[in-house]
Amino acid sequence: MSVKPLKFVKLRHAHHQETAQDYVEMIQDLLKEEGEARVTEIAKRFGVSAVTTHKIILRLQKEKLVDSKPYRALFLTPKGKKMAIQSKKRHNVVYRFLKKLGVPEKTAQIDAEGIEHHVSPKTLRIFQKFMEQG
Amino acid sequence: MSVKPLKFVKLRHAHHQETAQDYVEMIQDLLKEEGEARVTEIAKRFGVSAVTTHKIILRLQKEKLVDSKPYRALFLTPKGKKMAIQSKKRHNVVYRFLKKLGVPEKTAQIDAEGIEHHVSPKTLRIFQKFMEQG
DNA sequence: GTCTTGATTTAGCCAAGGCTAAATTGATAC
DNA sequence: GTATCAATTTAGCCTTGGCTAAATCAAGAC
Ligand SMILES: [Mn+2]
Ligand SMILES: [Mn+2]
Ligand SMILES: [Mn+2]
Ligand SMILES: [Mn+2]
């Protein structure tokens, strides 16, 4: 049998996207819920220090996903907004799919937070169809 | 609504386990398929350099999952064997579950490689039941 | 206008996983 | 037995995402 590193290469790529996806989703949530997105609140919700959040925000700014001036609140760029919308949608499909299957609410929340980043477009469509019918 | 960092804390914990799980699984495969597990072959299959694999093996030895002498082949400790068996079983349930749902073989392989590490015992049992019946 | 304080940022540390280049070694060929 | 060569290991670099301690700043209180 031949060797297939492809799936591991894709796995590493997915990992590299996870933080960005969770952060833009969180910023979008805060903008909606609280009116503004601040480092301290993001850090509290992720359960990390404000310093960790700050450093990740710097990276997301370099990647043109987040926009802000020093000591000020955070905003999503158009690119960041787009990623947030897509990520949230996928997250929600995975979450509802798990619940439809019979996974308890709390467990579905926890598992969806990890699974979402590894569901390909093909699999996502199948999850969606399952919910509409099943 | 209250703030719930729990799912993110668990996500980070899952990530910390991923590499170990994939490596012990791979070593087990090689012991079975090839008779021995070598750094070079592991690196080839993961699609990383032999140096990267070597460093990860050093960590797994410190964690008492892997056993070997310098320049020699690798073995699993009892602890490593146990993890390999459990990981392989979970991986397989996730993979077969996706195929049963209608996900194409190749996609199921790729997605399962990432999803497996985020499926809790409760969700795994539900996946299993779905296959037996559905 | 100044003071105070909480939020933000900077400095500096760590571990995990990536890499290339170079040194070492085990095993095979001769 | 020695020479060779492929595999392994070491050295040294990078990025991401963790942390604490200390510095800086914005905004509200007075
Ligand atoms: Mn999400
Ligand atoms: Mn997530
Ligand atoms: Mn696996
Ligand atoms: Mn895996």
List, as ranges, residues with CB under 5 A of the ion ligand 3.
Answer: B 25, 91
* pLDDT score of A133: 87
Q: Are strands A75-76 and A66-67 parallel, antiparallel or unpaired?
A: antiparallel
* Rounded-to-integer distance, Cα B36 and Cα A58, Å: 45
Same domain as A76, residue A11: yes
Calculate mean pLDDT across residues B47-76: 98
Same domain as B70, residue B89: no
Residues near B127 by beta carbon (within 8 Å), at least 6 away in sequence? A101, B93, B94, B97, B119
* pLDDT score of A129: 97
* pLDDT digits 0-9 by tens, B64-120: 999 999 999 999 999 999 999 999 999 999 999 999 999 999 999 999 999 999 999
**Distance (Å) from CA B87 to ligand 3 centroid:** 6
Residue A59 in this model has a pLDDT that exceeds 90: yes
Q: Which among B8, B45, B130 has CB closest to A113? A: B8
Same domain as B47, residue B73: yes
Measured CA B73 to C1' D1 distance, in angstroms: 27
In a domain, B117, yes or no: yes
Same domain as A96, residue A77: no
- How many domains, chain A? 2
CB neighbours of residue B64 within 10 Å: 11
Same domain as B90, residue B74: no
* pLDDT digits 0-9 by tens, B120-133: 999 999 999 999 98
In a domain, B19, yes or no: yes
Same domain as A77, residue A12: yes
CB contact under 8 A, A123 and B14: no
* Rounded-to-integer distance, Cα A93 and Cα A73, Å: 30
Domain that holds residue A107: 84-132
Same domain as B46, residue B111: no
Same domain as A74, residue A108: no
Chosen domain end from B81, B107, B123: B81
Residues B42 and B27: beta-carbon distance below 8 Å:
yes
* pLDDT score of A16: 85
What's the predicted TM-score (pTM) here?
0.96
Residue B3 in this model has a pLDDT that exceeds 80: no
Q: pLDDT tier at A134 (50, 70, 90 boundaries)?
A: confident
Same domain as A100, residue A70: no
Same domain as A103, residue A65: no
Average pLDDT, chain A: 96
Higher pLDDT, B1 or A94: A94
Residue A1 in this model has a pLDDT that exceeds 60: no
- Residue B15 belongs to a domain with what CATH number? 1.10.10.10
Same domain as B127, residue B98: yes
- Residue A96 belongs to a domain with what CATH number? 1.10.60.10
Same domain as B51, residue B63: yes
Q: What is the dihedral of CA B39, B40, B44, B48, to 10 degrees?
A: 70
* pLDDT score of B134: 74
In a domain, B126, yes or no: yes
Measured CA B98 to C1' D7 distance, in angstroms: 38
Q: How far is A87 from chain B (nearest CA, A)?
A: 16
In a domain, A91, yes or no: yes
* Rounded-to-integer distance, Cα B118 and Cα B124, Å: 10
In a domain, A23, yes or no: yes
Cα-to-chain-centroid distance, residue A42:
13
